[in-house]
Every structure is written in C-alpha cells, then in structure tokens.
Amino acid sequence: MTQGNTERLGIVVSGSLNKGVEVKLDSSASVEDMAVGRYVTIEGQKRRFFGMITDVSLEVTDQKLVLIPPDVSDPFVAEVLAGTSTYGTLHVLPMLTIGGDVTSLIEGPQPVKTVPSHFSAVNLASQPDVELVFGSEDERKFYIGTPLDMETKVCLNLEELVKRSNGIFGKSGTGKTFLTRLLLIGMLQKGTAVNLVFDMHSEYGWEGRNEEGRKVKALKQLFPSKVAVFTLDEESSRRRRVSTDFVVRIGYDEIEPEDIGLLRQTLNLTEASVQAVYQLAREFGDKKWIEATLGLEDEDETRQLLTRLSIHDSTYRNLRRGLETIRRLPFLESHVPDNPVKRILEYLDRGINVVLEFGRYTDITAYILVANLLTRRIHAQYRERMEKAIGEDIAPPRQLVITIEEAHKFLNPEVASQTIFGTIAREMRKYYVTLLVIDQRPSGIDSEVMSQIGTKITCLLDNDHDIDSVLAGVSGKSELKSVLARLESRQQALIFGHAVPMPVVVRTREYGSTESYKDFISGEETEIRKQAEKDIEELWE
C-alpha cells in the first residue's frame, strides 16, 4: 500500500480519536521543515488515514538534557542527539480514511472513526493522495487554490456549496474580497447558481483593485454575457466608466415597518419608535405610511393623531429624526415607475447574475435598507414559485445565492430573528435561496445562524471571540484554532464544512494576471463547446 515516492516523516506513538495522534519524527526529518496545516498520510495495517499536522513540538528522552543542555556546538554530538535523545513530535489530526477494500475505493475517503495502530508509518501526503481527497477540477468542482507547499489543486464542490449558506471570514485586508470574487467566478463558470451581489464598495461588478492598487477585472469583464451591473448611484458608476444595466430607485411605498425595525440600531431609534412605526403603518397603510408620517405638519392635527395612537411626543420626534435620515438617501423617491425587484428577478430568471453597486452610498443604513428590502421581496417571490413548483410538479426556480457584506449587521443576535437574512440562513435550501456571508467580525453573528452555515472559508482571524465563533461545533476545534491563528495574512485561507471532505488550508489561486483570467474563461468556453458538441450529436441521432 505504501507509495515509493512519498517522504517518510516518522511513526505514530500515541494518541486518541478525539485529540489526534502523536507522531515521533524520524531523525532524518527535521522539525523545522514541518508546517502546521500540512497533510500527511498514515499507513495503518488495514487502511490509510489522511490527516493534518496541527502542532509540532520538541521532546527529550532524558530530562537532564533540558536541565544541562549538551554542547551542540560540537557537530558530532548534535548529529548523534538529533532524532534520538532529542526529537520532534507532530500532532496529527486524522480526518479521513482511505480504505483498502473495493467498496471504500468506490465510495472514496470516509470520515475517521478510529485511529491508526501503534507505530504506523507517517508520510507526507503525495500529490495523488491530495487529489484523491479533494478531487480534480470538473463540471462541478472549482479549483480554489493549492494546499500549503504543494502543487495539487484543492477543488470545491460548488454544486454542494450553493445548496447551503456559506461564509467568508477574515480580518480586514486578508483577502476576503479576492476570495469572494474567486468564488463568484467559480459559480459563474460552473453555472451552479445565479448570484445577487450587494456590492457595498463597488468591487465585484466591473473592476476592483488589489493591495498594490492595481486594477483587477471583476465579474462583468470576465463574463459579459452572464453578468448585469445594477447601480444605486448612477453618477459614481459613470465616473468610474462602468456601463450599468439598470439604475435602482426605491420608492417610499416599498419601505415596510420591518425595514425600519432592522435599522433600529443604525438610526438610533428606541423600541417605542419601532412600535410606533407599526401603528402608523396600520393607520396610513403599508404603502403610504412613510410619506404620510413625513408629511405630518399641522401641529394640532398631529397631536390629536399621536394622542389617538397613544404615541409619546418624544417617541415621535425620535422616529421622525430617523425617517429624515432615510429621506436624505438620494436613491429614495416618493414614487418609482419601475420596480427594481421585478427587474432583478427578470435577469436572474434568464440566468444572468446581478451585481448591485452602491457607489457613494457606502454607509450602513443604505446598505441594510436596500439589501433587506430587495432580498425580502425576492425571497417571497422565490417562496411562491417554489410552492407552485411543488404543487404543479414543475421545475423549481434556479438556485440563487445572495452575497452580503458586513453580515454581522444583518445577522447579529438582536436582529437575526427579524431579518430576512436570518430566515434564509436558517431555512437553508428549501426555497433555493442561500447566502454568501462576508464578514470581519464573525463573533457578531448570531450563533444560531452561524451553526447553519454550510461551508466556512476563513482567512486570518486573531480575535479569540471571532475564532471561537467560526470554529464552533467543528470537530478538532482546538487543533484548527492553532492552524487558523497561524495563517499568513494574505492569500491563505482555511476552508471547512460541507463542500470539502476535510478542513483544508489553501493558498488561494492566483487572481489578477492575464493568465488567470484566461483560466477562468477557458472553462466557460469548453462548456459552450461541450454543449455544442452535444447538440450536434443529438441532431444526428
């Protein structure tokens, strides 16, 4: 079973399934060549185990060595002691087994349920091993990066990925945007889902910038036929020379009381003000309440109304101040002829991905208001269609992935139960709508929502609360913690969850060079060619 070309590291000396196994390094393997996050295979007697190095430590056979260190300036003594009296150990977390029998070969790697026996040989995982585990690129699998110190591709099963909500986390400046762009490209390339991206900083639609300030192409430039750019801020788009497909305007009549509830924190509203909104909405009607409230001027009448609705004067003033903030948003108009939700759905139905740029309106009030408002309606539509699809036995709507940034503002414990995003995250795939959540403070996200996130892709995090919340409920949490805290601050990410068979640290695929663009697009071309070939074949049948 052993493969000749693999590099032997040592042997298993102790361990448990829960805590992982200890591996004593051979004297030929240097502790300094090891790296947390690397893959190893363990040759058990009956099966092979696939695991990850989660810790490296130094040991001595005799404690005297620690108390009175030998003179290692003598190369002979150093050479003799290395690997014998002084040795390194690896802590390896076995993740998968690759069985020796036929059935397990067909089924592929399975999660571990036991540990390898004593003194099993441990090797560095070879390229074929990693390929066996993470698969190779195909119609469903998207190449996202390479494992540390390896050339093998790590592929995400996008079809599985989009069935659940996913999260991309990491400190600011660790590459969340690049990863997101990469993932969106993957979804576009493989056509597994249509995307609606709420693009707060206008960096996914036409072009973005990398750390050095160089321009990089974004979705529309790479897939012009598959992406539509919507904008809230026409002027900003024009200045950036982005051709937009639609300018989104939102009418006051589309703002519902729930939307105000969500904005409570950002608008600094009191609980009573939010209650007052519902009362006013009941009074004036769901569509007109905001205009009517803002139009209240006549003092006597207003006072009468407020007394009737038993709304305290201070509450009213608090609410009024909040609504004025909303009114100042330029994309809000009293009446809008075109319905943005309808337009977005039209595009999505045609399989065209929509990126909504916010232009200058990067403040969180605008973002929350618009994202929530549009998503709620789109979700409602999807729900309707899905129910119809079940009832009439027709094809369900296309899988939709909604990308939101600053997710903790939508999904924090206080509002997660009220926002549509909380609902989507919990309902998961029933209605074919899932989320791609991007955030730098995952600890701010409701734990219930967090637990429903299928695949988590996380760049470097160094706040303990953030790390804990990302890793909550994952087996081998403490081991992954050390891996996560030691990621490099750029281009490295830990991926775990539904779409990968085991947690994996990847160096993300190159993005931004001409070759990289070619790679992304070539996938699409071959797909078109494949489809054409298929059509031709069918024609001749």
- Cα angle 310-315-317, degrees, rounded to a multiple of 5: 120
Dihedral sign of CA atoms 490, 206, 401, 233 in order = positive
User: For residue 325, with 0-12 CB atoms within 10 Å meaning exposed, 13-18 middle and 19 or more buried, which class applies?
Assistant: middle
Q: Is 59 in the site for other proteins (CB under 8 A)?
A: no
Single out the segment in contact with other proteins by CB under 8 A; choices: 45-53, 70-78, 102-110, 533-541: 70-78
- 10/422 with CB nearer other proteins: 10
Nearest to other proteins of 24, 217 (CB atom): 24
Residue of 19, 26, 70, 283 interacting with other proteins (CB under 8 A):
70
Residue whose CB is less far from other proteins, 84 or 117: 84
Q: How far is the CB of 64 from other proteins (least distance, A)?
A: 5
| Contact call for residue 31 and other proteins (CB under 8 A) | no
Rule CB under 8 A: say whether 64 interacts with other proteins: yes
Q: Which of 4, 16, 62, 392 binds other proteins (CB under 8 A)?
A: 62
Sites for other proteins among residues 424-463 (CB under 8 A): none
Q: Residues 3, 45, 57, 84: which binds other proteins (CB under 8 A)? A: 84
Please tell me the distance from the alpha carbon of residue 163 to that of residue 161, in angstroms, as a whole number: 5
**How big is the chain by its Cα radius of gyration, in Å?**
28
Q: Find the part of the chain contacting other proteins (CB under 8 A) among 73-81, 103-111, 343-351, 404-412.
A: 73-81
Instruction: Select 24 or 181, whichever has its Cβ closest to other proteins.
Output: 24
- Least distance (Å) between residue 69 CB and other proteins: 10
Nearer to other proteins, 75 or 473 (CB): 75
- Which residues, 124 to 153, sit near other proteins by CB under 8 A? none
Q: Looking at beta carbons only, is 1 or 77 nearer to other proteins?
A: 77
80 touching other proteins, by CB under 8 A = yes
Cβ nearer to other proteins, comparing 79 with 298:
79
Q: Which residues contact 411 (CB under 8 A, 6 or more apart)?
A: 419, 421, 422, 425, 437, 444, 445, 446, 449
What phi, psi does 335 have (nearest 5°)?
-145, 135
- Shortest gap between Cβ of 483 and other proteins (angstroms)? 32
Q: Which of 83, 88, 167, 251 binds other proteins (CB under 8 A)?
A: 83
The footprint of other proteins on this chain (CB under 8 A) covers a number of residues equal to 15
Question: Should residue 74 be labelled a site residue for other proteins when binding is judged by CB under 8 A?
Answer: yes
Distance of alpha carbon 481 from alpha carbon 466, whole angstroms: 11
28 lines the binding site for other proteins (CB under 8 A): no
Structure tokens at 509: 């695929």
Return the structure tokens found at 391: 């009832």
Angstrom distance (rounded) from CA 39 to CA 538? 45
Min dist CB 192 to other proteins, Å, is 55
Q: What's the closest the beta carbon of residue 134 comes to other proteins, in angstroms?
A: 38
The DSSP 8-state label assigned to residue 89 in this structure reads E
Is there binding between residue 65 and other proteins (CB under 8 A)? Answer: yes
User: Which residue type sits at 76?
Assistant: F
**What is the rounded distance in angstroms from the CA atom of residue 506 to the CA atom of residue 144?**
8
Angle between helices 464-471 and 477-485 (to 10 degrees): 130
Task: State the nearest-atom distance from the C-beta of 68 to other proteins, in Å.
Answer: 8
Please give the Cα distance from 153 to 146 (Å, whole number): 5
Asked if 79 interacts with other proteins (CB under 8 A), we say yes
* Position among 19, 55, 59, 81 found at the interface with other proteins (CB under 8 A): 81
Q: What is the smallest separation between the CB atom of 12 and other proteins, expressed in angstroms?
A: 18
| Secondary structure of residue 92 in the 3-state scheme | strand
Nearer to other proteins, 35 or 77 (CB): 77
Q: Smaller CB distance to other proteins: residue 84 or 334?
A: 84
Residue 331: closest CA among 304, 308, 360, 311: 360
3-state secondary structure 414-426: CCCCCCHHHHHHH
Amino acid in the structure at residue 242: V
Of 285, 277, 263, the residue nearest 309 (C-alpha) = 277
- Contact predicate 112/38, CB 8 Å: no
Q: Which is nearer to other proteins, 86 or 237 (CB)?
A: 86
Measured over the CA atoms of residue 250, residue 252, residue 254 and residue 260, the dihedral's sign is: positive
d(CA 373, CA 363): 16
- Asked whether position 350 contacts other proteins by CB under 8 A, the answer is no
Instruction: Give the interface segment with other proteins, choosing from 75-83, 121-129, 239-247, 362-370 (CB under 8 A).
Output: 75-83
CA-CA distance, 475 to 442, in Å (whole number)? 19
Stretch that binds other proteins, among 81-89, 335-343, 348-356, 358-366 (CB under 8 A): 81-89
Q: How far is the CB of 82 from other proteins (least distance, A)?
A: 9
CB within 8 Å of 314: residues ≥ 6 apart: none
**CB of 83: closest distance to other proteins in angstroms?**
7
Q: How far is CA 105 from CA 2, 47, 97, 100, 225, in A?
A: 16, 11, 10, 7, 41
Query: In this chain, which stretch among 62-70, 215-223, 285-293, 300-308 interacts with other proteins, using CB under 8 A?
Result: 62-70
Q: Quick one: 59 or 160, whose CB is closer to other proteins?
A: 59
302 part of the interface to other proteins, by CB under 8 A? no
Determine the Cα–Cα distance for residues 227 and 206; give it in Å rounded to an integer: 10
Out of 85, 221, 270, 475, the residue judged to bind other proteins by CB under 8 A? 85
Residues 107 and 101: their CA atoms lie apart, in Å, by: 10
Binding site for other proteins (CB under 8 A): 27, 61-62, 64-65, 70, 74, 76-77, 79-81, 83-85
